[in-house]
Structures are given as structure tokens and as C-alpha cells.
Chain A
Amino acid sequence: MPTFVYMTRCDGCGYCVDICPSDIMHIDKTYRRAYNIEPNMCWECFSCVKACPHDAIDVRGYADFAPLGSSVRVKRDEEKGTIAWRVKFRDGREKNFLSPITTKPWGKHIPKLAEVPAPSKEMRDSELLFNEPKYIRLDDGDLYSLEAAGLKLKEGVYY
């Protein structure tokens, strides 16, 4: 279901142009508003719909298999950390859904690795990644290895 843009709601801000993964939301040169330039390269991912500050973008089911008359609307709220969906069927029935999108204030709990203590030489020479092995195991054990598992790699036909 490719996206389309309502003429009276769009103010040409370009948020959709900036976010579209497929590079198909462009600003029309005459109307100075956004539109979908290549509907058959649209994945209906809703990135532009979620990004639009004016609710100006909607989707209409792909013409080759989706009948007219239904709608799926979405409101994503980073402040509240939620996403709300309203699914309206062709016959008028409605379903509503609300889900969390994050459990923490946006971006605050991601470490800046330039500022954490640098890895030791021993760690560099090991197979460990940042924060391992403590992010893998609860005991004091090391990273898993073939040796510890009593395994080896052997050529041949095994199932």
C-alpha cells in the first residue's frame, strides 16, 4: 500500500523526504509539497507516515490486490514512548492497538565508548567484545569455546 500525501495538510517541511529508506518521498516543484514519486518501490514501512508532523501522509492499499475503503493510522510518540495504531476495515469495523517503543528516555542509556576505560592488551588479544563475558554469563566463566564444549571441527559428512 503505497503512501500518498493530502494536499491541504502538507506544508512541504520535508521530514518524509529526509527519512524515507527508499528515497521515494520528494517535494513536488510546482506545489511545494511532498509526494510519492515511485509507488512500486514503496515497502509500506510507514517511516514517512510516522515522521510527518501534520498527519498529512496516508496509505492506500496496492492497487493490484487491495480493495479501496480501509485505513491504518498511526501515532508514534517519542516523549511518551508509545505507538498507537487504528486499523479500520473496509466494512467499518475497527481495532486499536497501543505498544511501547522504548523503556528508557531516548538515547540516555547508551554508553559513549570513547569515554569508557580502554581495553587491556589481554582483552585485545582475546576473543572478547565490549562488556564480555559479563554480558553473556552470570557466573565467572569465560567466553564459550570449542574446547570447553568438548567439540572440534571435522571435515566430512555429518548431519
Chain B
Amino acid sequence: MAYETVVEDNIDILVCGAGLGGTGAAFEARYWGQDKKIVIAEKANIDRSGAVAQGLYAINCYMGTRWGENNPEDHVRYARIDLMGMVREDLLFDMARHVDSAVHQFEEWGLPLMRDPKTGGYQREGRWQIMIHGESYKPIVAEAAKKSADKVFNRICVTHLLMDESKENRVAGAVGFNVRTGNYHVFKSKAVIVAAGGASMIFKPRSVGEGAGRVWYAPWSSGSAYGLLIDAGAKMTQMENRIVLARFKDGYGPVGAYFLHLKTRTQNCNGEEYESKWWPQLQEMVGKEYLDPEVSHATHRPIPTCLRNHAFINEVNAGRGPIHMITMEAFQDPHLEEVGWENFLGMTVGQAVLWAATDVDPKNENPELTTSEPYVMGSHATGCGAWCSGPEDISPPEYFWGYNRMTSVEGLFGAGDAVGGTPHAFSSGSFTEGRLAAKAACKYIDDGKAKGIRVSDKQIEDLKAKIYKPMEHYKIYRNEVVAGSVNPNFINPRQGLDRLQKLMDEYCGGVTVSYMTNEKLLNIGLKKMKVLEEDLEKLAAEDFHELLRAWELRHRVLTSESVFQHTLFRKETRWPGYYYRGDVMKLDDENWHVLTVSRRDPKTGEYTMEKAPCYHLVGTDE
């Protein structure tokens, strides 16, 4: 093989993936490790990478404790009910007590936070959200990361983590390749913070053809947060907890500002409010504890998002679609109309373009909404990710093993999408988690926990052979056929992705089956996944760009297998509206008020599943 090997040695902290979580980690690491070597490896360019690449129009997680608005425990309770009880409250409390300091720094750095003309305080969109002019949110935080890091390696697709050979279950760095030059990059590091992305495009999208990239979460969010960690044998949690979004049809433009700030509402094709009629039936499924509209109305306790989705899906299936967003009232106010448009231009330009292309002016007509295909991620309103240690002063024994945000692999930390059980972190919370992981990783090194790490040349060479295999495979077999992409000896990454999306959709509760699955379907799906994995050994890549897609696919497949295993394990329907287990259509607190934890044995590929206790914040006298 002619690919050059480039070794970066003696790294203290390696940050894999620099979106909001990774930039937070790199920035903060410098404070706690002023003499440490901090390196970022990112598959794109950190100025515009990650889910916030095109900008954001709101920061969805800001407590405002300084102004007496909310306390950390208020946010924990909010996330708890929204996720039907299944969250890591230690991690959430920890994130919430730090998140404001990240936001105040953003403002100092130049991020334009809108002000409420009446109070002079930040412009609230909702209880937790503040509005920003965030087109340059990502370039601004990238600047902070660049100031702290010794080196930033852009365009390096990290494919695997390196493991220590002197001590079992300890990380030793990472490897990957440069998507431009093709060079093989080896990063030897004492600690690694995985801040890569969650998984879009593992379920078949509603769009077809060209529009397949018009997904809600970025198409470059390839599940690498999970692929890297699962492959290293890290424990995962709540991977069944995929999220389905109710969004503007086709463009998937966000609805938060519309509901919260513009005070818009939804109605069915007959112009009727439809949600409340589904509540009695739904109450029987989940229990009054989780759905009590009267309590919600009186106390501002939200109705869980999944349950509102359930009403949406059922109303459409009952033949009373489409569901419309009533924008015509709010948009008569020119200021609110401007907010509505800038909301899209600031974070989902595609929706603005779609409305322009279809002559939809929400001032004159009410746009359609839809429910999206499912996504697996851990920073927006759901909490898939690694089973991580919490902070020492908060976490109960089952949640604590030495270092904040460390996974079950020593020296391997997570932030953002990578950390499980911490929904509603969003951009600011992910950045905060990166900071927390960075401080803990520095401490891990200072405590002498990373001494004596050994990585053999064999491990490095074996991984090199593995990484470039799709290109070798292509060279060997391409000339067996005249031309074209049909070859009996290989599939290309797109063909593999299509197969994955189809089988996730049909067997794991995608959009074409109205989010329904059951034990039989899941077992068939898992069998097909095994065969897909065998075929991945025959994946072919024509060039470095396709090699990037090949490894993204590999990470998506590892993520998907974990989603299957977790969905099979949890024998209840915990989140109607996100997915349904048709064979167990009820929520079951007696047996399943627990967090699901998995581990895939890196050597055998076998899964083991366990239940972990679910702790909640209660008064000291309870």
C-alpha cells in the first residue's frame, strides 16, 4: 500500500470531532492543562462542521439562574417528563448548573444574543430558549477552540480508536485517514474525548432522490459518536430512544420559535384542534402520571413531545391530514413575520428556499407539517449515547467511576451526542459537556492514570489494512465488469446505506410502518443486519471520498445494530409517538422504569444487555 503514515505522538488530549461538544472540550482543556498537548481531529473543517454548521437562531438551553429565572433542578424535571422519566439526572443537573457560564462567554466572544426591549434581559423564546443571531455561532466557537489547541487536523476521518496493550479496556488514541491526501493518520494520546455526531440517515427518509440529503439532522452526522465507542467496547445506554420530529413538511424547518415565540398552533384539515381527543386513549397506554393535561395546564409541566407526536400521527392515520401550522395570524405582525423568516435563514435555509419555490407565504396560507423519519442522537430532545460516569459530588455509586463524562473505557470521554441520558443539552449544553469532559480528562492524566500506555506497530498496521480495504477491494474487482455500479463482488457505500435505511425502516419502526415494530420484526431485522455486516467486508470505494462514505456507513451500521438490540431488550412502549412495540403496547413502570445498558464485545460482536437503576431528584426528606 502506498498510503503514507503520519504519526502524531505524545498527545495528552485528543478531541475526535469538533462540533459544539468538541470545540468546548478543546477550549477548556487548555485551562486545566496549560502545558498539555491538545489536538483536534475533524473530518470536515471546524469553521463549519457539526450540526451547527449553518448556524442557529436560538440557544435552547439557558437557565438564567443569574436572573432568578430557573434553577438546574427545574431543567432536570422538565427533561425527565419530556423523556417519560428515562434520563440521567446526575448528568443533567451537572450540565444545567454549568451551562449559563458557556452562554455568557459566547456573548463576550461576540455572538449576538437578542435582548428583550422591555426588560433589557436576553430575549426569551420559551422557558429554556433564548434567541440569537447565530449565523456565525460555529465559526465563533471554532475560533475559541483554535486558540486553545496545539494542532487542528481538518479533513481527517477518524475511523477507529487505538487501545492500550498493557492494560485492558484503556484507550490509547485514534486512527483515521485524510480525505484529501489519503494519508493514514495515527494519533497516540493519553486521553480521548469523542465528540463526534449522532446518527442521521439510518432510517429511510421521507424524501427521495436528490432530496435524500434534506434530513432534519445533518447528513454528515454519521453516528460516529456511537460507531467509535461501540467498536471500542464502551457501554451504551438508551439507544432505543430514537426521536421523531414534527416539522414543516419537506424542508424540516424548525417549529420551536413558531410555537413558543410566535404563539402559533396546529390544526387538522377541518380546522379543528385535534390533540386533546387522543389523550384519553393515550392515558390508558402510558398512565395518568405521564399524561395529565390538567396538571400540565396548571403547572406549566409540558406534555411529553412523543405524546404530542402520537396525536399527530393518529390524526393523520385517521384521515384528517394534513396538519397545518396556523401562521396567518402571527405573520400579520411585520416584526413577527421577520422573526419567522430569519429563523429559517439562520438555521434551516432549505425551508425558506422551499417556501420561495412553492410560493408559500405563511402570511397568506398556513403551511403543512409532517413527522420526520427517526433519528438517533443524544443532544437534542433525546438521550442516546454512551454510559458515562457523572460528577463526584452528585452521582450515586452506580453512576460514578472516577471521572466525569468518562465512558466505561478508561481514558475515553464523551461530550454532546456521545453522552447518553442527557437530552435537552442542545448547542450550549453540548459545549458545556465538552468543557466538563476536558477538565476530567486533564485530571485523569494528572492522577497518573495514563501511565505506561503501549501501542504495538501491529495494531497500527492491522488498522491501516482495514481502513484501506474498500479501495483495495475496488481495484481488484472493478475490471470484472464492463462499467457501471453493478458488480457481483462488491457493493458501494451508497448501496449499503440504501439497504440499511430500508431494513431499519421496515423492521425497526421507521416512517413507512408508522413507527411500529415488534419482537418478531426486530429479530428478522437483526438477522439481516448480520448479513449486511458480512457484505460490508466487500464494500468497495473508488476514491478517498467514497472511502469516507464507507467508514461513515460502518459507523451508521454499528449504531443501528445497537438500536435494534436496545429496542428488542425494552419490552414496553415507553415513548408512543417515537416508536411502538406492537407486542407490548403499554408503558410498564413496574419492570421497565430503568435505563437500558448494552455492551458489544469488540472481539466476538456479541451483545450483552442489562438494566441500570433510574435515579430521580427528590427532596431530602422524601
Contacts and interface: CB of A to CB of B under 8 A. Distances in A.
B110 A103 contact: yes
B505 interface: no
Interface in B341-364: 341-342, 345-346, 349-350, 352-354, 356-359, 361
A113 B349 contact: no
A83 to B, nearest CB: 5
B363 to A, nearest CB: 10
Contacts of B349: 44-46, 72, 74
Contacts of A87: 341, 345, 352-353, 356
A120 B581 CA distance: 53
B89 interface: yes
Interface residues of A, number: 89
B32 to A, nearest CB: 7
B147 A89 contact: no
B507 interface: no
B53 A102 contact: no
Contact of A154 (B212, B346, B616): B616
Most buried by A among B105, B135, B548: B135
A15 B92 CA distance: 40
Given A63-B210, A97-B342, A110-B143, A138 B66 contact: yes
B272 interface: no
B211 A102 contact: no
Interface in B204-245: 207-215, 218-220
Nearest to B593: A157
B148 interface: yes
Interface string A118-149: 11000010010111110111100001111001
Contact of A153 (B66, B81, B394): B394
Interface string B27-55: 11011101000000001110111100110
A159 B144 CA distance: 39
| Chain B interface extent, by class | 35 or more
A153 B616 contact: yes
B140 interface: yes
B31 A43 contact: no
A75 to B, nearest CB: 12
B133 interface: yes
A155 interface: yes
A99 B338 CA distance: 11
Given A72-B352, A101-B133, A144-B72, A109 B616 contact: no
B310 interface: no
Count chain A CB atoms within 10 A of each CB in B47, B65, B357, B545 and give the residue with the most.
Answer: B357
B100 A135 contact: yes
A41 interface: yes
Given A19-B47, A107-B143, A157 B393 contact: no
A132 B353 contact: no
A56 interface: no
Nearest to A146: B394
A116 to B, nearest CB: 7
Interface string A53-77: 0000001011111111111101010
A5 interface: no
Interface string A13-31: 0000011111100100000
Given A67-B358, A151-B617, A59 B213 contact: no
Given A22-B213, A23-B43, 14 more contacts: A1-B350, A21-B44, A40-B210, A45-B53, A64-B211, A66-B357, A87-B341, A90-B356, A110-B140, A113-B30, A129-B98, A129-B101, A136-B97, A145-B394
Interface of B: 27-28, 30-32, 34, 43-45, 47-50, 53-54, 65-66, 71-73, 80-81, 85, 89-90, 93-94, 97-98, 100-101, 104-105, 107-112, 133, 135-136, 140, 143-144, 147-148, 155, 179, 207-215, 218-220, 250, 289-290, 338, 341-342, 345-346, 349-350, 352-354, 356-359, 361, 391-396, 435-436, 439, 443, 446, 545, 548, 589, 593, 613-620, 622
21 contacts: A22-B213, A23-B155, A37-B545, A43-B350, A59-B353, A70-B353, A87-B353, A89-B356, A103-B111, A104-B109, A109-B110, A111-B147, A116-B31, A136-B98, A146-B93, A146-B394, A149-B71, A150-B620, A153-B615, A154-B615, A156-B616
Closest 3 CB pairs of A and B: A104-B110, A135-B101, A45-B54
Interface of A: 1-2, 18-23, 26, 37-47, 59, 61-72, 74, 76, 83, 85, 87-91, 93, 95, 97, 99-107, 109-114, 116, 118-119, 124, 127, 129-133, 135-138, 143-146, 149-159
